[in-house]
């Protein structure tokens, strides 16, 4: 078994949208391919909710970059789907020329400057949900998110053009920041695919009963959930940070950044590097929470971290 997180969806596996499966075949034959990820959601969630049927009400604008095609969803987000992936406070925003240009520029940047990162996005992302808070909702907007229950679909807001984790916020919008957040969620999706198809954690591991890792750089973010992470959440974050730091290194080596972009990416890199080193060390101390394969993945993460 590979000691790294998968970068390809294995042919014939559960996540292969082209495999022979009655539900997937029916959607393909009926021209409802944009609903395919939601058919996988039905199997993963097991709630009895026909998510794929709900998704048929969605429209999508096709965005093609470097031969990779993405469905940029439009129309109203069905409540049955929004409830399951914690988007009840959000709505899909209107497609505009400005947003279209920003999205294309972000994907172009990934394809031209970060080909390995773009390959991961193209492999693990099919659907794009650009959302905004509903009128009257008074809460802080998400930057970007993805849910293991909904494969291939990632969520982001206007904030993704300004914010890169953990704490860097720019007054100016940038396609670079959106590009990083798209990659961020693609890595989460690839880790989720791997965890679902391989035993990464020890027998009997439970997120609810997991030891907690203190996240000191989130001490001012209110809820205890943001300040103390379960082992599986910390593992996800460590995998993501490893990829994002490489993205930032590549950008910082280039000469076409604005002064603001360079300052923001440098700040995020300087904050992210000690964060990933801290998480890697804490996970190693909790290696008994991992399966033998998970321990191999930790060793690979250590190797990647030491190269930064």
What are 41-76's pLDDT values in tens digits? 999 999 999 999 999 999 999 999 999 999 999 999
Whether residue 239 sits in one domain with residue 168 = no
Of all residues in the chain, the percent with pLDDT exceeding 70 is: 96
List Cβ neighbours of 132 (8 Å cut-off, separation of 6 or more).
90, 91, 93, 141, 157, 158
Q: Is the pLDDT of residue 278 over 70?
A: yes
Whether residue 128 sits in one domain with residue 246 = no
Residue 1 domain-assigned (yes or no): no
Whether residue 217 sits in one domain with residue 184 = no
Q: What is the pLDDT of residue 226?
A: 72
Q: What is the pLDDT of residue 74?
A: 95
What are 93-148's pLDDT values in tens digits? 999 999 999 999 999 999 999 999 999 999 999 999 999 999 999 999 999 999 99
Q: What is the pLDDT of residue 5?
A: 84
- The last residue of one of the domains, among 197, 214, 235, is 197
Q: Is the pLDDT of residue 18 over 80?
A: yes
d(CA 263, CA 236): 26
The model's pTM: 0.95
Whether residue 238 sits in one domain with residue 192 = no
Q: Is the pLDDT of residue 223 over 60?
A: no
Q: What is the pLDDT of residue 27?
A: 96
Residue 109 domain-assigned (yes or no): yes
d(CA 289, CA 284): 10
What Å distances lie between residue 202 and 44, 103, 179, CA to CA?
21, 40, 34
- The last residue of one of the domains, among 144, 170, 197, is 197
Q: Is the pLDDT of residue 89 over 80?
A: yes
Whether residue 215 sits in one domain with residue 115 = no
Domain with 49 in it: 8-197
- What b/e readout covers 21-30, taking b as 16+ CB neighbours within 10 angstroms? beebeebeee
Closest by alpha carbon to 121, among 193, 62, 183, 179? 183
Phi, psi of 157 (to 5 degrees): -125, 180
Whether residue 162 sits in one domain with residue 52 = yes
- The last residue of one of the domains, among 197, 232, 255, is 197
Q: What is the pLDDT of residue 222?
A: 54
Ranges 3-12, 20-29, 86-95, 113-122: which has the least confidence: 3-12
Whether residue 238 sits in one domain with residue 136 = no
Whether residue 209 sits in one domain with residue 181 = no
Q: Is the pLDDT of residue 2 over 50?
A: no
What are 168-209's pLDDT values in tens digits? 999 999 999 999 999 999 999 999 999 999 999 999 999 999
Q: Is the pLDDT of residue 166 over 90?
A: no
Residue 48 domain-assigned (yes or no): yes
What are 284-296's pLDDT values in tens digits? 999 999 999 999 9
Q: What is the mean pLDDT of the chain?
A: 94
d(CA 171, CA 11): 44
Residue 3 domain-assigned (yes or no): no
CB atoms within 10 A of CB 216: 8
Whether residue 210 sits in one domain with residue 61 = no
């Amino acid at each position: 078994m590979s000691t790294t997180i998968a970068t390809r969806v294995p042919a014939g596996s559960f996540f292969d949208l082209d495999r022979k499966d009655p539900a997937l075949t029916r959607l393909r034959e009926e021209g409802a391919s944009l609903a395919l990820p939601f058919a996988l959601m039905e199997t993963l969630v097991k709630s009895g909710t026909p998510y794929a049927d709900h998704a048929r009400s969605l429209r999508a604008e096709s965005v093609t970059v470097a031969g990779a095609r993405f469905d940029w969803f439009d129309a109203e987000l069905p409540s049955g789907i929004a409830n399951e992936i914690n988007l009840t406070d959000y709505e899909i925003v209107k497609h505009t020329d400005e947003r279209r240009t920003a999205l294309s520029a972000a994907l172009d940047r990934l394809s031209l400057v970060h080909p390995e990162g773009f390959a991961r996005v193209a492999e693990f992302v099919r659907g794009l949900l650009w959302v905004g808070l509903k009128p009257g909702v008074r809460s802080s907007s998400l930057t970007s998110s993805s849910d293991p229950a909904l494969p291939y679909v990632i969520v982001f807001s206007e904030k993704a053009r300004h914010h890169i984790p953990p704490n860097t916020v720019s007054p100016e919008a940038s396609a670079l920041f959106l590009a990083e957040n798209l990659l961020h969620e693609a890595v989460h999706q690839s880790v989720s695919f791997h965890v679902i198809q391989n035993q990464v954690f020890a027998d009997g591991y439970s997120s609810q009963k997991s030891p907690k890792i203190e996240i000191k750089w989130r001490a001012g973010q209110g809820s205890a959930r943001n300040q103390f992470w379960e082992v599986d959440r910390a593992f996800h974050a460590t995998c993501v940070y490893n990829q994002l730091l490489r993205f930032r290194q590549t950008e910082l080596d280039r000469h076409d950044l604005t002064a603001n972009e360079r300052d923001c990416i440098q700040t995020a890199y300087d904050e992210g590097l000690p964060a990933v080193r801290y998480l890697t060390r804490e996970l190693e101390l909790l290696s008994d929470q991992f399966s033998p394969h998970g321990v191999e993945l930790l060793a690979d993460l250590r190797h990647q971290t030491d190269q930064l």
